Amino acid sequence: MTAPIITIDGPSGVGKGTLAQWLACKTGFHFLDSGAIYRSLAYGVMQKNLSIDNLEPIIELAKMLPVEFKATSILYNGQDITSKVRTEEVAAIASQVAPVPEVRVALLQRQKDFAQLPGLVADGRDMGTVVFPEAPVKLYLTASAEIRAERRVKQLKNQGNDANIAQIIQDIKERDERDSNRKTAPLKPADDAFLIDTSNLDIDEVCQKAESILWDKGILK
């Protein structure tokens, strides 16, 4: 029996992670945070002081990436780096290494291996277009850069950090531009994806919309 897969794609700050975890709990499916894999690679690049201009060592690191997931924790060489991979610095490096075709190939099979019974909820940027194009349910979340920046500022302030909203808006737009225009696995909705704009929705409303789609598609019974 093939494991049913729910993919959730979209840029950062649209609520993918929260929705994915909620759906994983709702369905009892496994959970894949593909962004955490790329962020873990970026963390490794920083730890080893690798240069983005020299890709070979980065590709080799991707092939042997010492990352594992336990519950909601991300472990790198056995060390919990869950909070460390959520920084803007790590995100910026992840956005630079993610478009590299050899990096994506190295990490592709690792992501596919998460597709096991009873099913999988996969959160990322190319889950429905590249990694799991056969998925019966594909969701694509979006929101304006301004709304996403406001959410990020709130998150940073809750963590006790200062935030420059103008700079964050600029960073978001630049990252979107890179992700959407890269040659390999550009950020875009799959042709059969359900689009959900979360700009004016709270997380409960987003979850309700997704749950309705899962009922319609027969994932929930």
pLDDT one-digit tens code per residue, 88-143 = 889 889 988 988 889 989 999 888 988 999 999 999 999 999 999 999 999 999 99
pLDDT of residue 72: 76
CATH code of 5-206, in short, is: 3.40.50.300
pLDDT of residue 95: 84
**Cβ contacts of residue 170 below 8 Å, gap of 6+?**
none
* Domain ranges (residues) in the chain: 5-206
pLDDT of residue 170: 92
**Distance between CA atoms of residues 13 and 9, nearest Å:** 11
**Residue 98 phi/psi, 5° resolution?**
-60, -35
pLDDT of residue 49: 94
**Whether the predicted model's global pTM rises above the 0.95 cut:** no
**Distance between CA atoms of residues 147 and 166, nearest Å:** 12
pLDDT of residue 121: 96
> According to the 3-state scheme, what is the secondary structure of the chain?
CCCCEEEEECCCCCCHHHHHHHHHHHHCCEEEEHHHHHHHHHHHHHHCCCCCCCHHHHHHHHHCCCEEEECCEEEECCEECCCHHHCHHHHHHHHHHCCCHHHHHHHHHHHHCCCCCCCEEEEECCHHHHHCCCCCEEEEEECCHHHHHHHHHHHHHHCCCCCCHHHHHHHHHHHHHHHHHCCCCCCCCCCCCEEEECCCCCHHHHHHHHHHHHHHCCCCC
**Distance between CA atoms of residues 211 and 166, nearest Å:** 34
pLDDT of residue 192: 97
Which residues of the chain have a pLDDT value below 70?
1
pLDDT of residue 1: 66
